[in-house]
Amino acid sequence: MKAVHTELHRSHDPQFFLVRGVVKRTTEQPERADRLLKGLKDGKHQLVEPTTFGQGPRARIHSPEYLSFLSEAWDAWKALGDSGPEMIGNIHPVRHAATYPTHIVGKLGWHTADTAAPIGPGTWAAACAATDVAATAAQMVMDGEDAVYALCRPPGHHAYRDMAGGFCFLNNSAIAAAHLRQKHERVVILDVDVHHGNGTQGIFYARPDVYTVSIHADPVAYYPYVWGYAHERGEGPGLGTNLNIPLAIGTGDDGYIQAMEVARKAIESFAPGALVIALGLDASEHDPLKGLAVTTPGFRRIGQVIAKLGLPTVFVQEGGYLSDILGANLTSVLAGFEEAR
């Protein structure tokens, strides 16, 4: 399996992370990519540089106002003269009878769902590079590759059409799915991150052509708390094309594989032409956020179940934070997929 990667991700190096009222350094650091690259090397995967697609793939998913905000945000922030080293909103209007703001502080609050997506001087460039990585992987699959892995950083599945959140700015998995839709009438996104893919769900919630499935730690006690429940099934034309499978905190390999089998049967019933895996490795027993307890051999089993679907597949990197086992878990899930293929 080939892997798409660019070093341009390094321009995004966030520092701020608010956890239960305590400010810490974020776990979404450039070093994550180094550990993932080690996993790719151990798996003997060939690295490919991304194609530059420009705004087109991003504009299929994100609103013009949001893309304009992200591209201009840092310069407007610095022009204030008394601003901090990162952009972190101090208002979140949640848009009840609200008016779209013109001031950068207002726009920052409007376009961020939480405080976990600080914007720095290189964030826009890195986020755009990540979308090119995702779109390149999707294009390679459309051109005949059976499966391609996209090492996207920053991640994307918490990003809505016009809101950043949860370390995410542009929704790489959604962008990959929309790119695949140029060839395939129906596409599935299977999110195996420990956190619910709320942004992805929101983007496709009323669409019948993209089936969104998420297996994640129970949002009763885990981020994003207010999305990711089993009763959320889509709306309007998209009713029935969203499936959430929340798992009890601490669920291990066997419970996770049972959920994977439920997801596999639902996906087969949808009869898609292609598959996007929003690949979170943070379901690991060694992940610092401690949501689920999947072992390294368990990730191999996850890859095997994905392979059984028999679909052209794009793996898009989502979560998986700083732990010694991160690279090994990536090697394991891709190896399991290749073995079962």
Query: Would you state the torsion angle of the CA atoms of residues 333, 156, 46, 188, taken in this order, to the nearest 10 degrees?
Result: 60
Long-range contacts of 75-80 (CB under 8 A, 24+ apart): 76/104, 76/107, 77/104, 77/108, 77/119, 79/104, 80/104, 80/105
The rounded distance, in Å, linking the Cα atoms of 262 and 215 is: 10
Strand 16-19 to 22-25 pairing: antiparallel
Active site residue 158: yes
Closest CA to 168 of 63, 31, 37, 317: 317
The rounded distance, in Å, linking the Cα atoms of 318 and 340 is: 23
CB contact set of 66 (below 8 Å; sequence gap of 6+): 111, 161, 162, 163
Cis status, amide bond into 154, omega within 30 of 0: yes
Q: What do you get for the CA distance between the two ends of the chain, in Å?
A: 11
Residue 143 structure tokens: 């051109």
The residue behind tokens 């399991």 is 336
- Axis crossing angle, helix 326-340 with helix 296-308, rounded to the nearest 10: 30
Q: Which is catalytic among the residues 12, 62, 157, 158? A: 158
The rounded distance, in Å, linking the Cα atoms of 168 and 287 is: 18
- Axis crossing angle, helix 326-340 with helix 31-42, rounded to the nearest 10: 40
| Strand ranges, E, within the chain | 2-4, 16-19, 22-25, 47-48, 147-150, 187-191, 210-217, 242-247, 274-279, 313-317
Distances (CA, A) of 27 to 79, 117, 154, 287: 29, 12, 11, 10
**Catalytically active residues, by annotation:** 158
